[in-house]
Chain A
Amino acid sequence: MINSGFKPWIYWYSSPGVKSGEVGIKAGSYRFLSDSQVKDLDYAAKEILRRTGVKIPNEICLGLLEKAGATVDFKEQRVRIPASLVDEAIKNTPKSFMFGGRDAKKAIKIDTEHSYFVHGIGPYMIATDGSVRNSTARDMQDAYRVLEACENVDVAGIPVGGTASTPEDEMHLPLTVRRLRKYLMMLDFMEKPVDTSRTYVIDKEDEAGDIRQAALDQIQMEIAVRGSLEELQKTPMSLGFNEAVSPLMYLPRNLEKLLVYAEHGLPMFIGSGPMTNATGPATMAGTLSLWLAETLTGLVLGYLAGNPDYRPPALWMCFTGLFDQLTAHGPIMGAPEGVIVQSACADIAHFYGFSIRGCIGSPSKALDPQAGYETGVGLLTSVMAGVNYHVSIGTVGPGEVGVSLEKIVLDNELAGYIKRIMRGIEVTEETLAVDVIDEVGPGGTFLIHPHTRKWFRKEQYFPSLFDRRKYEDWVRRGKKNAVQRAEERVQEILRDYWPEPLDKGIRKRIEDHVKMIEKRMAKS
């Protein structure tokens, strides 16, 4: 993975016995809700679905729901869902699945047991001082390379996107072709799985375009990578992103996409992000009951639209944040209220056997202590609470304003700390070291004991960016603070690090696929 010209700042990881960053960690077990509280929420959510119902502006979905026993008002596009249908969907929806990038062998398992660090998204590039600019195709490539080089980032998000990141000489091409070429560029740079779930980031023009065709194009591309739909189902490369719009609404485009993924037996994100105080109640419990009602709706829809021979699995998600009463702004995901609501969602999702995706971020606009504290506190809390998929790495600003390459490398270090904390303490006869302590005795040193040499690498996480030097040494090295060191690290990566090239066979298949689409577009 590391090219020969790359003088690794992560030298430690190439030392024998040191793993190059574990992929994923065991999810934590700290709880914010007791079982009886979760049952209260289950009751509340089902009552909301029975009494108030949800707006579903899609004829196919409404038809499926009516057939399954829901009460449908076609004029109002309003559906009231009985608890029995919810329970049926919970029971029959697969709860774990593999998720992979271009190499299916390096896929990760999404379930309630594991926890992964995922890069977030954002349309703009943010400098360390908080200044914002539009992104380019080059920015996208740079972000991919930095993400690929960060050993504690398990999944990449589409770093930056939109029309601005289309290379200028491709602007004349049809949207579909541009989108596929960008997907190919992503595959060229990323070995890790990539979370491509947020269409607007792939291309803003999707908002106005044919979302069904866009989803099909992407799935066809992924079939070209895997070789067949069956292989893609075994190791999916993307998830349908089916967010409800709080309170209690779905958007037509999200439903279109949900249908495509469900028909193909491919996994779906289901959930929502009610903003406490505005699109959700002011209480934490109220925000949670609304979120759960909306999430269960998505689950029922995916279940009903799904291919019975290959049921689409679901990963629940919550991107709740606070709508701040003082600044009239939201969602504030780094707020303590956002952190506990998202963490509590893990208790709820796990109760039904589903894994959960959280989304922690700081509203700070610059890379400053606030950004660090809020990301650190929020991320550690949600990892300890058992959230399984953390879309938190590398974003800046409220509601993911943008991507900061420097924050990616800083968050990579944070993730390393958290991974170490969550790895916990191994207690065995050997690690208790009674014999070693006896050998060293009073006043001796453990520093050169073979036991120390055997264990220190396994026990210690070695930061490559955070500073632990002596004061004078730090002065001698230019008195650089963490942000300055992060800037240097990014420059090092961009100078020296190139990911492994995409397999030639796969690349050829994809190029052929894109050419075929180009021909089709030219004819029409």
Chain B
Amino acid sequence: MKKEELIKKLYEAVKDGFIEESGPLAEKSVELGYDPIEVMQGITSALKEVGADFNDGRIFLTELMFCGETAKEAMNILTKEIKRQKKTVPYLGRVVIGTVAGDIHDIGKSLVVAMLVAEGFEVIDLGIDISDETFIDNVRLLKPNVLGLSALVTTTMLKFRDIVVALEDADLRDKVKVIIGGALVNMEHAETSGADTFGSDAIDAVIKVRALLDLD
């Protein structure tokens, strides 16, 4: 299979959510020695289109998420290969993200992750119910450009402030931008908690992260 053909197939697999095909196609590209970064770009362009389809109401959430899963199958293989070749992916930036302690809401955050990945960011998703210390440790260790904090419940939204204070205490606040999000979160919460901005939804989150990093 020629490189262009393989990239096209992978692109179609992601767009249509053929989850059984994406992993084997990625493995095939590694086998044939194609540039994993170039192959990866095919995947992200598919994800970008799927994201736009969702934003315009052409596909449903479950389909978007499934396309994301399909992409993940291939990306895991390609990322491993990129590391093995000691290459670096030209990411737009690195984002560490998680849902704060005491909060187990996952869907909105997963959506933000999918959109950021589609946009071309490297995203490290810590998961749900993440302690303040884990956030701080990961910021110190991974040196992300942006830290994303998610909370749905009004009580757990108080955690935003705690984490920002912990970042200040650890002398990390000026090294990372902080974006918060969640169904009830607005700009006022960003201001009172000391975060840099907020994302009203997954699309908005991407716009705001780009703005934080002066990408536009």
Given known A445-B107, A470-B183, A472-B186, contact A452–B62 (CB-CB < 8 A): yes
* Set of chain A residues within 8 Å of B186, measured between Cβ atoms: 471-472
Q: Indicate whether B65 reaches chain A with its CB closer than 8 angstroms.
A: yes
Within A303-339, which residues are at the interface with B (CB < 8 Å)? none
Q: Taking the nearest CB of chain B, how far is it from the CB of A452, in angstroms? A: 5
* Set of chain A residues within 8 Å of B61, measured between Cβ atoms: 447
Q: Indicate whether B16 reaches chain A with its CB closer than 8 angstroms.
A: no
Q: Indicate whether A207 reaches chain B with its CB closer than 8 angstroms.
A: no
Q: Indicate whether A1 reaches chain B with its CB closer than 8 angstroms.
A: no
B62–A472 contact, CB under 8 A? no
Q: Indicate whether A456 reaches chain B with its CB closer than 8 angstroms.
A: yes
Q: Indicate whether B60 reaches chain A with its CB closer than 8 angstroms.
A: yes
Q: Taking the nearest CB of chain B, how far is it from the CB of A326, in angstroms? A: 44
* Set of chain B residues within 8 Å of A471, measured between Cβ atoms: 186, 200
B201–A472 contact, CB under 8 A? yes
Given known A11-B57, A472-B200, A472-B204, contact A448–B66 (CB-CB < 8 A): yes
Among residues of A, the one whose C-beta sits closest to the C-beta of B59 is A15
Among residues of B, the one whose C-beta sits closest to the C-beta of A473 is B201
* Set of chain A residues within 8 Å of B183, measured between Cβ atoms: 470
Q: Indicate whether A453 reaches chain B with its CB closer than 8 angstroms.
A: yes
Q: Indicate whether B132 reaches chain A with its CB closer than 8 angstroms.
A: no
Among residues of B, the one whose C-beta sits closest to the C-beta of A469 is B201
Q: Indicate whether B73 reaches chain A with its CB closer than 8 angstroms.
A: no
Alpha-carbon distance between A448 and B69 when the two chains are bound, in angstroms: 8
* Set of chain A residues within 8 Å of B106, measured between Cβ atoms: 445
B107–A453 contact, CB under 8 A? no
Q: Taking the nearest CB of chain A, how far is it from the CB of B82, in angstroms? A: 26
Within A450-490, which residues are at the interface with B (CB < 8 Å)? 452-453, 456-457, 470-473, 476
Alpha-carbon distance between A456 and B183 when the two chains are bound, in angstroms: 22
Q: Taking the nearest CB of chain A, how far is it from the CB of B90, in angstroms? A: 29
- A1-39 contact mask (Cβ, 8 Å, vs B): 1 or 0: 000000000010000000000000000000000000000
- B42-80 contact mask (Cβ, 8 Å, vs A): 1 or 0: 000000000000000110111101100100000000000
Q: Taking the nearest CB of chain B, how far is it from the CB of A191, in angstroms? A: 26
A447–B204 contact, CB under 8 A? no
Given known A445-B106, A447-B107, A448-B69, contact A470–B201 (CB-CB < 8 A): yes
Q: Taking the nearest CB of chain B, how far is it from the CB of A455, in angstroms? A: 10
Contact of A456 among B57, B60, B200 (CB under 8 A): B60
Alpha-carbon distance between A445 and B60 when the two chains are bound, in angstroms: 16
B58–A453 contact, CB under 8 A? no
Among residues of B, the one whose C-beta sits closest to the C-beta of A455 is B62
Alpha-carbon distance between A453 and B18 when the two chains are bound, in angstroms: 13
Alpha-carbon distance between A428 and B65 when the two chains are bound, in angstroms: 27
Q: Taking the nearest CB of chain B, how far is it from the CB of A314, in angstroms? A: 45
Among residues of B, the one whose C-beta sits closest to the C-beta of A454 is B62
Alpha-carbon distance between A452 and B183 when the two chains are bound, in angstroms: 23
* Set of chain B residues within 8 Å of A453, measured between Cβ atoms: 62-63, 66
Alpha-carbon distance between A443 and B200 when the two chains are bound, in angstroms: 25
* Set of chain A residues within 8 Å of B57, measured between Cβ atoms: 11
Contact of A447 among B62, B200, B201 (CB under 8 A): B62
A11–B63 contact, CB under 8 A? no
* Set of chain A residues within 8 Å of B66, measured between Cβ atoms: 448, 453
Alpha-carbon distance between A11 and B63 when the two chains are bound, in angstroms: 15
Among residues of B, the one whose C-beta sits closest to the C-beta of A464 is B57
Alpha-carbon distance between A447 and B57 when the two chains are bound, in angstroms: 17
* Set of chain A residues within 8 Å of B58, measured between Cβ atoms: 11
Alpha-carbon distance between A452 and B57 when the two chains are bound, in angstroms: 18
Alpha-carbon distance between A445 and B69 when the two chains are bound, in angstroms: 13
Alpha-carbon distance between A470 and B106 when the two chains are bound, in angstroms: 17
A448–B204 contact, CB under 8 A? no
A448–B62 contact, CB under 8 A? yes
B201–A456 contact, CB under 8 A? no
With A445-B106, A456-B62 known, 12 other A-B pairs at CB within 8 A are: A11-B57, A11-B58, A445-B110, A447-B62, A447-B107, A448-B65, A453-B66, A456-B60, A470-B183, A472-B201, A472-B204, A473-B201
Q: Give 7 nearest A-B pairs by CB, closest first.
A: A472-B200, A448-B65, A448-B66, A452-B62, A453-B62, A447-B65, A470-B201
17 contacts between A and B (CB under 8 A): A11-B58, A445-B106, A447-B62, A447-B107, A447-B110, A448-B62, A448-B65, A448-B66, A453-B62, A453-B63, A456-B60, A456-B62, A470-B183, A472-B186, A472-B200, A473-B200, A476-B200
- Residues of A participating in the B interface, judged by any CB pair closer than 8 Å: 11, 443, 445, 447-448, 452-453, 456-457, 470-473, 476
